[in-house]
Each structure stands twice: as structure tokens, then as C-alpha cells.
Amino acid sequence: MPNQLTGATDLRRRAHAALTEVCDLVGLDTTGAELLRLRSNAVFKLQAPIIVRIATAPNAAERLPAVLAVTRWLADRGFPTVEPADEITTQPVAVDGVTATFWRYVPSSATGVSTTDLGHLLRDLHNSPPPPFPVRSLTDPLASIRATVQLHPGVLTPADQAWLTTRIAHLTDAWRALPFTSPPTLVHGDAWIDNLLRHQDGHVVLGDWDSVAIGPREWDLIHSYHGQRRFGLSRTDVDTFATAYGYDLREWAGYETLMQIRDVYAIGIHIRNAPGDPFSRQELKHRLSSLRTNAPTVPWHMKP
């Protein structure tokens, strides 16, 4: 069943309605709530100040308990991560098909973040031991978009749905054949520079752990290289990322295949959001066109 954030009416209005419902359940005041982001999650800042993340992914309720556990464990180890707002003792909160988590607000600095910051944090993350509790394994990164294509047939033309179904099947086989050389490790799962925050005291923290898993480090690394291909990162950005991490993914034999997998993965959110979001409808057409015409350097857009 579609959740509150994937129907055919306005996405922003439904996000605010979901915020009111989940906050009422835990006794938080939504007066003056600020919508910070509306993509794979609706992210709000409350006056409390607390960050509320309302997930749109269909399997969010299953994933989020581990997300909370991993970030608590990392914070206890001194890793610079966002932290759950544990004064909310009953999270995650699931209601009417959406799942919400509550996080401590990070007061931000005017100084930006860099791919060097990201490279250092990922190197430290991947060198960490695995958590002493179960975390899902990243064995099929295209599982979510495979399900999305089947659950939202009206969003796609029959030709696009057929093409995507075939493309996903081909790339799933290609994923299984990739020549990963390092043992599986704890991976963030969405290790993109937009998920870094610089605290006002100067240190950088990593947020948005919804896709955390045990898997190949290459899945975390490909996001920055994909950022150069599709989202405006420069060659220098990627070079400094590789230097900070201590390894350049472009030297790996599976690089281009993994880039193609990341390309297809990155349209899933726009299929889910398209019914209620004009930008997602437009961006979905744009991304599909570039994929179907094999135009790997056509830039994509993160926001209107």
C-alpha cells in the first residue's frame, strides 16, 4: 500500500501532514517547523530544536531500528555522526505507512564541507570493526528500484517500464560479477557530500544513515565519482576525495559497471515522488532519456 508521501496529491502538503501526525504521537510541537529537504526523506527542523526525518522508502520501518543502533554505536566510539534524539524514547515511529526518526540538531557553520572531509570520514568508517549486532547486508543495491518499478507502473510509460526492468536485470547480474577485492565492511550507503554537516565548532559530521549496511566499500566510493559525472563536482573535487581516502576507484576494473548501477539506482526516488512532485516528474523524464540514449555525461539536477 502506498504511504502518505507517495500518493497523487502535493508532496509538500502531505509531508507537513505526516509531520503533525508523528509529532503528536510523541508530544512534540510542530509550530514553526522548517522543511529542510524533500527528497528520499522529508526532513524538518523543529523549534525544540530536533530534526525529524520522515522516510518515503517502502522498507523504512524495517531498516530504521538498525540505523538508530548504528549511529548510537558509532557516536559512542567517537565517530563524527549525527545522533538520535534519545529523549524521544519510542522511535522509530510508524503511522499510516510512513516512518519517522528524531535526531539531535547540528548547529551549522558558515564554512562549507569538502570532498576531502568526506574521504577522510569514509576511510575511518571503512576501517572500523563491524558493529556487535546485526546490520543488513548490501547484496543487491538495485532491489529497491526493482520494487519501485513494479509498484508505480502508472508513473512510467510501458516502454520505459519494460526498458528499466530489462536494464535492472542486466545490471543485477553485472553486480554479482564485480571483482570486489576487499572484505565487506560497514558502509554508509549514500556517501554523498550533501550528507556532510559542518558543526559550528568546526568539526564535520556525517548524516543520513538510512542506507547503512555491511557491504563493499566501492558502493560508498562511487557516489563522489558519480557526482562528477552527473551533479557538478569537478575533477579536482574527485581527485582530492581519492587522495583523502587513499585509493582511487577509477583504477578498479569494475568502475564503469558500478557507475552504470549507480545511475539506475539514482532514479528510484523520482519514480516514487513523481505523483506528487512536478520536479520529480520532470527530472525522471530527463534521467530516463539520458539513460536510454546512452548519454553518460548529461548533467542531472538535485533540485529545481
Q: What is the CATH number of the domain that holds 81?
A: 3.30.200.20
Contacts 24+ apart (CB under 8 A), 287-296: 288/160, 288/164, 291/167, 291/263, 291/264, 291/267, 292/160, 292/163, 296/229, 296/259, 296/263
Q: Whose grid coordinates read 567517537? A: 78
In order along its 304 residues, the chain shows pLDDT tens digits of: 344 455 445 888 989 999 999 999 999 999 999 999 988 899 999 999 999 999 877 788 889 999 999 999 999 999 999 999 999 988 999 988 889 999 999 999 989 999 999 999 999 999 999 999 999 999 999 999 999 998 887 899 999 999 999 999 999 999 999 999 899 999 999 999 999 999 999 999 999 999 999 999 999 999 999 999 999 999 999 999 999 999 999 999 999 999 999 999 999 999 998 988 899 999 999 999 999 999 988 999 988 7
**Is 1 within a domain?**
no
Q: How far apart are CA 139 and CA 152, in angstroms?
A: 23
Same domain, 35 and 74: yes
The number of folded domains in the chain is 2
Tally of CB atoms within 10 A around 220: 26
Last residue of a domain, one of 77, 104, 131: 104
**Is 212 within a domain?**
yes
**Is 109 within a domain?**
no
pTM: 0.93
Same domain, 148 and 251: yes
CB 209 within 8 Å of CB 189? yes
Domain span at 81 = 11-104
Same domain, 42 and 184: no
**Is 180 within a domain?**
yes
**Is 304 within a domain?**
no
**Is 2 within a domain?**
no
Same domain, 124 and 262: yes
